[in-house]
Structure 1
Amino acid sequence: MVEAARLSIARGSKSFGMASTLFDRATRERAWLLYAWCRASDDLADGQEMGHNMQVVADPAARLAKIRERTAAALAGETTGDPAFDGFGVVARECAIPERLAQDLIDGFALDAEGWRPRSEDDLFRYCYHVAGAVGVMMALVMGVSPDDEATLDRACDLGLAFQLANIARDICEDDAAGRCYLPTEWLAEMDIPPGEHMKTAYRKRLAVLAQRLARLAADYEASARFGAAALPFRSAWAVLAAAGIYGDIAREVAKQGEHAWDHRVHTSKAAKLGWVVKAGWQALTRGGASTRSPKLWTRPRR
């Protein structure tokens, strides 16, 4: 299962894959197992392979039911025959990951299956929590954060939100091709962009303004997440800070390219990733203590 998970992250995300090598062995392997389940579930929901070639599927409800069924079986200790789900069952038991967090992620897939679109900025944050913030919380538990340490879990969720906001900014064109749009309708109305027409050339400059707004929000949540590193062991802090920098560069590059951000898919080079590995090592060594989280930031749901 661990080897299959390693191959999954190597193929599915070079950014996370490189950052994950900075963890100690036990944490690294558990992170791979968690990633593999997230990747397999996402691919099954969207009819894609390793996060690529997303398409409109004819049976979204059936796919969602299969994800829930396999996840429930894995969490119950049953063998599903799928290494990604079986591996998640192992890491969930070892790290006491609550079933509700797994269901929160799957609920995000359900929103996509329903053809849901955000109306407000708050709706956008709620979606980002389901598909990425909840994963950030699970990753914190994998790194040994106490389930009672709400402050650090909030910071972990912030990092997930930052990643997803960067993803949305980068993938506006790709999402449009699959019939999806995660830009709040209130934002589109504010910029006088008709629904469903945001990728038309006539609106490209206005779209760039919205992408830059996403990038600023991503930067706010990335900055907040960085304070959570104070509660982590050195190697976990190193990995988290590297991932924050690598993924943060995606949002920053989208903002920099303006209306040309979707001429090709924005990515970070291997050299840039290695640069963040070095910088993050120093940041982890010199990190300060925790600080008060800004009350202006959206906060994950409590249970």
Structure 2
Amino acid sequence: MSGGAIRHGIRPDDLAHCRAVIRTGSLSFHTASRMLPASVRDPALALYAFCRLVDDEVDEGHDKVRAVLALGARLERVYAGAPRDAPEDRAFAAIVAAYRIPRALPEALLEGLAWDAEGRRYGGIGEVRGYSARVASAVGAMMCVLMGVRDRHALARACDLGVAMQLTNIARDVGEDAAAGRIYLPLDWLAEAGLTPEAFLARPEATPDMRALVARLLEEARRLYIRSEAGVPRLPQNARLGIYAARFIYAGIGTELRRQGHDSITRRARTGRMQKLGWLGKSALYAGGSMLLPQPATLYAPPLAETAFLVDAVAERGQASPWWGAGRTGALLETLAALKARDGAAGQQGRRA
């Protein structure tokens, strides 16, 4: 067993499995992760493999409700120290124990996936940020924990990066989501463009109004990408290159969207190997301090209202409560209970049929 495996407790075969999952399922993260030191990269691969698994279970499964409920049970087993006998679960349980990951973080991710399962739509950009906080910023906060960072300001900027990346995802996938009957765009923005969700889903088109809406979403992401940069110097020196790489590679998707006229309905924005190499070079300049960083005041900007609960869950506050926290929030319990009730009602209806 390698020295890294001893520190984080992940079995070598489980780590190899997680690495393979990320290599095939998330090329952008795999590229950026190669810039991280092994002490951070290995547990990060385990973290992302588990997050990828839970996302795929809900996104690709035939029964999203049961998938979320099953994931809740799996997470319960992880925090009980008895994970399911699967590589991703064992590896995630190992880093939960080794790095004392607050339970509120993976539970926030689960809440976001529960919102997906119930087909929730979002009235305004604040609600979209709230969803992004759960499915993306929660992962960014867990990455900070893996690096030993619990500084409030660094956490707030990491959460900014998570929201920016998710907004980029939403902007890129408008057409694919519509084809699947899903919509993550702010409904009030759609209304301003003279569209109802039903009309758009029935006939998604890259109209000038829709292109303008995508551009507006990317501008929201761009602002947060810039804010996020101020937090990177608060991270360990040997981890900064990888985080800058993730920031620039993901923002590059938005650049491609702009080049194709903000059409994410008839086309999908893709980035090439040479572009990624260019962004890695830029990341190296930033990590080495060869380029000017944003004004220091950016670092101290308060967290987004939608991500403040994640910062609070991680930041050291001198409380005597157990590191894993009190467990599920009332909102998550209510969401899971509603899903369970819906699942039971659907089962009864099926039996009557």
- With the length of structure 2 as denominator, give the TM-score of the two structures: 0.79
- Any unmatched runs of 5+ in structure 1? 49-56
1:234 matches 2:237: yes
The Cα shift of 1:266 comes to: 0.9
Task: Tell me the equivalent position of 2:180.
Answer: 178
Q: Which has the higher contact order (CA 8 A, sep 6+)?
A: 2
RMSD: 1.8
Q: How many residues of Structure 1 are paired with residues of Structure 2 in the alignment? A: 292
- With the length of structure 1 as denominator, give the TM-score of the two structures: 0.91
Question: For the residues of structure 2 that align with 1:291 and 1:273, how far apart are their CA atoms?
Answer: 30
1:218 matches 2:218: no
Task: Tell me the equivalent position of 1:97.
Answer: 101
1:164 matches 2:166: yes
Task: Tell me the equivalent position of 1:129.
Answer: 133
Question: For the residues of structure 1 that align with 2:116 and 2:47, how far apart are their CA atoms?
Answer: 21
Match of residue 277, structure 1, among 270, 277, 280: 280
Given that 2:32 and 2:246 are in contact with CA atoms closer than 8 Å, whether structure 1 keeps it comes out as yes
1:194 matches 2:196: yes
Given that 2:159 and 2:307 are in contact with CA atoms closer than 8 Å, whether structure 1 keeps it comes out as yes
Cα 1:297–1:220 shift into 2, 3 Å: farther
Task: Tell me the equivalent position of 1:76.
Answer: 80
- What SS does structure 2 have at the residue aligned with 1:118? coil
1:247 matches 2:250: yes
1:44 matches 2:57: yes
Question: For the residues of structure 2 that align with 1:296 and 1:108, how far apart are their CA atoms?
Answer: 19
Task: Tell me the equivalent position of 1:115.
Answer: 119
Task: Tell me the equivalent position of 1:51.
Answer: none
- What SS does structure 2 have at the residue aligned with 1:128? helix
The Cα shift of 1:298 comes to: 4.5
Q: After superposition, give the CA deviation of every residue in 1:79-106 in whole Å (9 maximum; x if it has no partner).
A: 3111112111111111111111110000
Question: For the residues of structure 2 that align with 1:201 and 1:117, how far apart are their CA atoms?
Answer: 17
Q: After superposition, give the CA deviation of every residue in 1:223-269 in whole Å (9 maximum; x if it has no partner).
A: 11111111012221100101100000111221332253333321211
Task: Tell me the equivalent position of 1:5.
Answer: 18
- Any unmatched runs of 5+ in structure 2? 1-13, 313-353
Task: Tell me the equivalent position of 1:300.
Answer: 307
- What SS does structure 2 have at the residue aligned with 1:90? helix
Question: For the residues of structure 1 that align with 2:197 and 2:297, how far apart are their CA atoms?
Answer: 41
Given that 1:101 and 1:134 are in contact with CA atoms closer than 8 Å, whether structure 2 keeps it comes out as yes
Match of residue 18, structure 1, among 31, 35, 39: 31
Q: Which of 127-136 and 77-86 deviates more? A: 77-86
1:256 matches 2:259: yes
Given that 1:209 and 1:258 are in contact with CA atoms closer than 8 Å, whether structure 2 keeps it comes out as no
The Cα shift of 1:13 comes to: 1.1
Q: Which protein has the larger Cα radius of gyration, Structure 1 or Structure 2?
A: 2
Question: For the residues of structure 2 that align with 1:219 and 1:37, how far apart are their CA atoms?
Answer: 28
Given that 2:178 and 2:204 are in contact with CA atoms closer than 8 Å, whether structure 1 keeps it comes out as no
Question: For the residues of structure 1 that align with 2:177 and 2:207, how far apart are their CA atoms?
Answer: 15
